[in-house]
Amino acid sequence: MRVRGGRRGDVIRRGSALLAAITLGGCAVPRIALGALPPSDHFDGQRFFNPDGRQGTGGDQSRHGVSMLERMISPGHRTWPKSLPVTPSRPPARVPGSAMLVTWIGHSSVLVQTQGLNILIDPVWAQRSSPVSFAGPKRVRQPGVRLADLPPIDLILLSHDHYDHLDTGTMKRLWRRDRPLIVTGLENDRLLARYGIKAVARDWGGRVPFRPGIDVIVNRAHHWSAHGPGDHDRSLWIGFTITLPGGNLYYAGDTGPGDMRWAPEARAAGPVRFALLPIGAYHFTGPVTDNHIGPDDAVRAFGQLGAAYALGVHWGTFELTPEGVNEPRDKLGIALRRERIDPARFRALEAGETWWIPLMPGAG
């Protein structure tokens, strides 16, 4: 890694040393202890894996360690502006009945309000996607809703333990304030418990009843996990379906294409009114990781879901890969035109922008 002199060089050296210590177990970050889980088609007794193909670069332990963490600190592809203007919004306290209001907070953090419920997805208000506050990818779009302006949260969906999805500082504040139901994948509940946060963990296909007619279903995704030393692929990455009157809500989580059957599997739970599909972090300088879909596969998944509407997420907030800051949104538009899909049905919002989701045809 090339280290520059001066204050920036000192920060990079400090960050590299600390992150190396974390990776090598020299930092007091507890390891997740696996429970007594039986082996399955995606768990070998020690680690979770993707049954539909390779784990990808992110899931290859030989590519992790100091070198990967050094690349995170100084990856050599910093082309984004330092910041982009954001006008934060202030959501209403509740949205009753079948009306649905969606607010993009940034990256994969989204607030969905419907049926009198406030549902928050992968809440990250941190300024960096990193285990440390002084190094790592820095936020260029500030959160589209100030944390203090969030209405009371009833349900949090946590897809996996990567730092751009799991922000323990934000989670602790929301847990203390609202005591929401938190649903996540296997073994992530143990990680959260270290911070005094209670969560319900389920395997793919698991179901968590919430209210009459409203359940959380845990869906398969194609990804990987890592949060601290020794826990690589020791917690499960997931997507979600929330069953709702008038059409379901689906969130793919972080996922590569894999066999692309995860979208039809989610559709089997019922008509999808609204989907959250990742469109960013798909451009890699090295081998393709198979861990993220881009705009083309997102549009393909949109069709396979039969979704009425969708929002593109996982873009334009943290510079994780070399595509331009707004490139995923631009390429989404190209893919929609190519497939002759009305762009009003699949949008990429600005942080803080809201969207009233229409009812599905035939829904009352």
221 alpha carbon, distance to own chain's centre: 11
Q: Taking the CA atoms of 46, 50, 53 and 55 in sequence, report the sign of the dihedral they define.
A: negative
Alpha helices (runs of H) in 194-351, residue ranges in sequence order:
262-267, 295-305, 327-338
User: Is residue 211 situated within a structural domain?
Assistant: yes
Q: Taking the CA atoms of 333, 337, 339 and 344 in sequence, report the sign of the dihedral they define.
A: positive
Q: What is the pLDDT of residue 329?
A: 97
Tokens of 55: 């784990």
State the DSSP H helix or E strand holding residue 17, giving kind and residue range, or none if neither. helix 6-23
Q: pTM of whole model > 0.75? A: yes
Can you tell me which residue has the tokens 């204050």? 7
Can you tell me which residue has the tokens 């595509």? 323
Domain of residue 225 covers 100-356
User: Is residue 289 situated within a structural domain?
Assistant: yes
User: Is residue 341 situated within a structural domain?
Assistant: yes
User: Is residue 94 situated within a structural domain?
Assistant: no
Tokens of 360: 């599905």
Nearest to 80 by CA among 311, 286, 347, 328: 328
d(CA 22, CA 357): 43
CATH code of the domain in which 333 resides: 3.60.15.10
What is the number of structural domains in the chain? 1
The pLDDT profile of the chain, 364 residues, written as one tens digit per residue, is 333 344 444 444 444 444 433 333 333 344 445 667 899 999 999 999 999 877 654 433 334 443 445 555 555 567 899 999 999 999 999 999 999 999 999 999 999 999 999 999 999 999 999 888 888 899 999 999 999 999 999 999 999 999 999 999 999 999 999 999 999 999 999 999 999 999 999 999 999 999 999 999 999 999 999 998 888 899 999 999 999 999 999 999 999 999 999 999 999 999 999 999 999 988 765 555 688 999 999 999 999 999 999 999 999 999 988 899 999 999 999 999 999 999 999 999 999 999 999 998 876 5
User: Is residue 222 situated within a structural domain?
Assistant: yes
Tokens of 135: 């190094």
User: Is residue 205 situated within a structural domain?
Assistant: yes
User: Is residue 3 situated within a structural domain?
Assistant: no
User: Is residue 342 situated within a structural domain?
Assistant: yes
